[in-house]
A = this chain, B = another copy of it.
């Protein structure tokens, strides 16, 4: 694909830095508190062509430098002709090397070469003078000369408020649901001072003193205000559902939201006889799309940082919504940053391990070996970094400055933590899969993995307690759910032990409950995995349904049903610290899609796939989910199930039979009696 090219990874690193620097809180900026991996400022791009005839091309640049046409002359000497960018270059026939040399002090060095034969694409090689001959980075989003890869081509939509309310001596605008938008102010007669109080909730917007985001506009040339028309001004981007304008009681200023988003399209749809479930799906879909930007963000109002743990959960939701490959690649590459690897992702050891695991998940979902090739070296160097903090038992520990997180929960953190070792084992498995897919040996890791699993059993499994303990150094033998959830989820506990863990830990009210939707994700997945489908549906309807009852139009970072007053908006010691539009709030999509509709790839990239709907689903149902590049529609009318897949090599798996799904052809079966799991 002919388009702009850059040093591989740098597009993502540049935009991730921009994203992680975009947080705002109460009048100040709050850049992310970890090392910001930098991009390269000087790149040489090149490609060799065998030209059958004379040809021309024009090269465009972001940055500065030159184009060189190099060829070997008949006398053996080397000829180098240099040209400025932006002018047409004519090349005589023969073997030539085209080189584009670009430097950019402030931005992303990038080049677009356009010609019938000579044209920039992923077959061009890039060098930063340390790493050589890497395939250049490209994106189908950047193909035109007037573009700059440092400026992402967002979609925009102007939104009017759906309701305007006169209250507290001002105007409250309700835009219906959370959006990331610039606020456009159009004054009817003349500029006037105005204060914008934003809120994800009505309560927050009306709290003029304490709302998280507020802008006092005093003059038309205020810093932070851009004039875009004679009497129209735009603010910076913010996320909000409500805006309150204290003191404004007329139409002297009209407020519009210039919503900015990435339009992912996608076929996913869920309609059933259970209205509550339909609404949960729709709100989860809206939430997930709102948090899916250049990268998977945690939420849209507060951090807007790219957290590896949050992103990891988004990788699971994505295949059941818009099935976008590029956002996953961008997030994986951006999170990883440049070489050398010098700090765990977001400073969190678990988050580095999730990154490794995400490569296997990427492979299963998209099956793209070319992408794995491009991140392979960075995978190995991250793994190597982790392996340098492993003790004689094979356990990973935290070094000064490392954060051993797992979850917001009370763990016994003296010595290596069990849950962290489960993730390490899972990360080894993933690297083994990726190496295998790329035809590289993994004997060393297989040995490490075997030793690690043995030692996990030996040091953490407590037969008496019927569960894995947090850690062993203190001797307190504390049991929490986390390591046990991982053990079942990753298949490290099998057979009878799963039953033990279920009974002694997962369904044991004496073991502290999971509090965060982040870990509730894994907990519910485990419940689905062990066949507790009715429990999962009940949880989805009560927990996420509870948010709807509280007026949610997007799903929250955290929800405690016992909090019904304004305290429900508080978090991290901040009155409005809770994010009310948070990616991980969208997990019902994954739980329903993966476990209740039972859609999953059975070979990398959905080369083959399976649909295994559960009878616990509502009695009437029409839904469509992606399966790779195609889609599958599942319709249920009580005992009648009809499945139509547009992609090849799918099967419908029921408890008593497996039916092939010929592409484009509806397959109907009767469910009666067939759903005793």
Q: What residues make up the interface of A, taking CB atoms closer than 8 Å to B? A: 17-18, 21, 25-36, 38-42, 44, 64-67, 82-85, 101-103, 105-107, 128-130, 340, 342-343, 347
Contact = CB atoms under 8 A, between A and B. Distances in A.
A30 B102 CA distance: 8
A83 B28 CA distance: 7
Nearest to A129: B35
A296 to B, nearest CB: 20
A355 B85 CA distance: 36
A209 to B, nearest CB: 16
Given A105-B21, A106-B106, A29 B65 contact: yes
B34 A129 contact: yes
Contact of A21 (B39, B44, B103): B103
Contacts of A82: 25-26, 28
9 contacts: A18-B105, A21-B42, A27-B84, A29-B84, A35-B129, A36-B42, A36-B129, A130-B342, A130-B343
Contacts of A35: 42, 128-130
A503 B64 CA distance: 52
A377 to B, nearest CB: 15
A382 to B, nearest CB: 15
Nearest to A102: B31
B65 A28 contact: yes
A17 to B, nearest CB: 6
Q: Which of A39, A66, A105 has the most CB of B within 10 A?
A: A105
A340 B105 CA distance: 20
Given A26-B82, A33-B101, A106-B107, 10 more contacts: A21-B42, A21-B64, A21-B105, A27-B84, A28-B65, A28-B66, A29-B103, A30-B101, A31-B103, A35-B130
Contacts of A343: 129-130
A41 B36 contact: yes
Contacts of A25: 82
A30 B66 contact: yes
Contacts of A84: 27-29
A331 to B, nearest CB: 19
Contacts of A21: 41-42, 64, 103, 105
Q: Which of A17, A27, A29, A44 has the most CB of B within 10 A?
A: A29
A38 B36 contact: no
Which 4 A/B pairs are nearest by Cβ-Cβ distance? Answer: A31-B103, A28-B66, A106-B106, A29-B64
